[in-house]
Amino acid sequence: MKIAFIGLGNMGSGMAANLVKAGHEVNAFDLSEAATAAARDNGCATFASAAEACEGVDAVVSMLPNGAIVKYVYTADVIGKAPAGVILLDCSTIDVATAREVIAEAEGAGYEMVDAPVSGGIAAADAGTLTFMVGGTESAFNRAKPVLEAMGKAVIHAGDAGNGQAVKICNNMLLAIHMIGTAEAFAMAQKLGLDPQTFFDISSVSSGQNWSMSNYCPVPGVGPQSPSDNDYQGGFASALMLKDLTLAMDAAETSGSNTPLGKHAQELYKAFAQENGELDFSAIIKTL
Ligand code: NAD
pLDDT tens digit sequence for 80-119: 999 999 999 999 999 999 999 999 999 999 999 999 999 9
pLDDT tens digit sequence for 59-76: 999 999 999 999 999 999
pLDDT score, position 120: 87
Boundaries of every domain in the chain: 2-159, 166-287
From 18, 30, 122, give the residue whose CB has the most ligand 1 atoms within 8 Å, as the site to mutate.
30
- Ligand 1 within 6 A of CB of 6: yes
Taking the CA of residue 12 as reference, the ligand 1 atom at the shortest distance is 26
| Residues annotated catalytic, as ranges | 168
Judged by DSSP in three states, 67 sits in helix
Given a cut of 90, is residue 123 above it in pLDDT?
Answer: no
pLDDT score, position 228: 97
pLDDT score, position 121: 84
Given a cut of 90, is residue 212 above it in pLDDT?
Answer: yes
Distance 192 CA to ligand 1 centre (A): 43
CA distance 62 to 78: 10
Given a cut of 90, is residue 53 above it in pLDDT?
Answer: yes
Contact status, residue 196 vs residue 189, Cβ threshold 8 Å: yes
What fold is seen in the domain 166-287?
N-(1-d-carboxylethyl)-l-norvaline Dehydrogenase; domain 2 (1.10.1040)
Calculate mean pLDDT across residues 189-204. Answer: 98
Give the residue whose CA is nearest to atom 4 of ligand 1: 9
> Average pLDDT over the chain, rounded to whole?
97
Q: Report pTM.
A: 0.94
- Ligand 1 within 6 A of CB of 121: yes
The CATH number of 2-159 is 3.40.50.720
Distance 5 CA to ligand 1 centre (A): 12
- Ligand 1 within 6 A of CB of 46: no
Domains 2-159 and 166-287 share a fold: no
Contact status, residue 75 vs residue 101, Cβ threshold 8 Å: no
CA distance 141 to 149: 12
Given a cut of 90, is residue 276 above it in pLDDT?
Answer: yes
Strand partners, 119: 131
Contact status, residue 141 vs residue 134, Cβ threshold 8 Å: yes
Q: How confident is the model at residue 24 (pLDDT cuts 50, 70, 90)?
A: very high
Distance 118 CA to ligand 1 centre (A): 12
- Ligand 1 within 6 A of CB of 60: no
From 8, 64, 130, give the residue whose CB has the most ligand 1 atoms within 8 Å, as the site to mutate.
64
Which residues fall within 8 angstroms of residue 267, CB to CB, at 6 or more apart?
none
Alpha helical stretches, state H, the chain = 10-21, 33-41, 50-53, 67-73, 96-108, 122-127, 138-149, 163-191, 196-203, 211-214, 238-255, 260-276
Q: How confident is the model at residue 209 (pLDDT cuts 50, 70, 90)?
A: very high
Give the residue whose CA is nearest to atom 1 of ligand 1: 9
From 63, 118, 131, 148, give the residue whose CB has the most ligand 1 atoms within 8 Å, as the site to mutate.
63
Q: How confident is the model at residue 234 (pLDDT cuts 50, 70, 90)?
A: confident
Whose CA is closest to 72, among 10, 6, 28? 6
pLDDT score, position 215: 94
Give the residue whose CA is nearest to atom 38 of ligand 1: 121
CA distance 149 to 126: 14
pLDDT score, position 257: 98
